[in-house]
Structure 1
Amino acid sequence: MMGSYGMGGGGFLMMLVIGALIVVPFWRLLPRFGIPNWVAILAIFPLVALILLWIMAFKDQIDERRA
């Protein structure tokens, strides 16, 4: 019964794909808002992703030097 958590054979692969689809855009956008890249890894948690979106939405200036 080890490994049978109800996700099937491709569940882990699907989780990796969804995680990549969330992390990669944050990884590209966060430096433009003055936030380090590594914070994008935390965006796999929905609450953290929502907080990051709010920070990016209400940030007054975008760092133009890196854009």
Structure 2
Amino acid sequence: MPESTPGPEMWPFGPFVMIIMAVVIILPFWFIFSKAGYSKWLSLLMVVPVVNIILLYFLAFSDWPSLRSANK
């Protein structure tokens, strides 16, 4: 019966895959937060499980500082 978990030969790639996935998630939000007028560093919170949902709703429904300054 085949195992569902990877064997010991795959363990060294685990951290590498996690770093790649974090970059894939963080990079677009880095630019989104920058264009919205918020700190780019908020994008690092997108890899935190429950905080990312809260932050996504905050980003969707808040008044963006960049748009406030453009309308004045």
- Give TM-score, length-normalised by structure 2: 0.67
Partner of residue 30 from structure 1, selected from 33, 37, 43? 33
Identity %: 30
Q: Which amino acid aligns with 1:29?
A: I
Paired residues in the alignment total 61
Unaligned runs of 5+ in 2: 1-7
Deviates more, 1:50-59 or 1:11-20: 50-59
Aligned equivalent of 1:3? none
Q: Superposition pairs for residues 1-67 of structure 1, below 5 Å?
A: 8-61=11-64, 63-64=66-67
* Rounded Cα–Cα distance in structure 2 between residues aligned with 1:57 and 1:42: 15
The answer as to whether partners of 2:37 and 2:64 remain within 8 angstroms in 1 is no
Structure (1 or 2) with the larger CA radius of gyration = 2
Higher relative contact order structure (alpha carbons within 8 Å, sequence separation ≥ 6): 1
* Rounded Cα–Cα distance in structure 2 between residues aligned with 1:9 and 1:42: 25
Give the aligned CA root-mean-square deviation in angstroms. 2.4
The answer as to whether partners of 1:31 and 1:37 remain within 8 angstroms in 2 is yes
- Give TM-score, length-normalised by structure 1: 0.71
Offset of residue 24 of structure 1: 0.5
Unaligned runs of 5+ in 1: 1-5
The answer as to whether partners of 2:30 and 2:41 remain within 8 angstroms in 1 is yes
Give the structure with the larger helix fraction: 2
Which 4+ residue blocks in structure 1 deviate beyond 4 angstroms? none
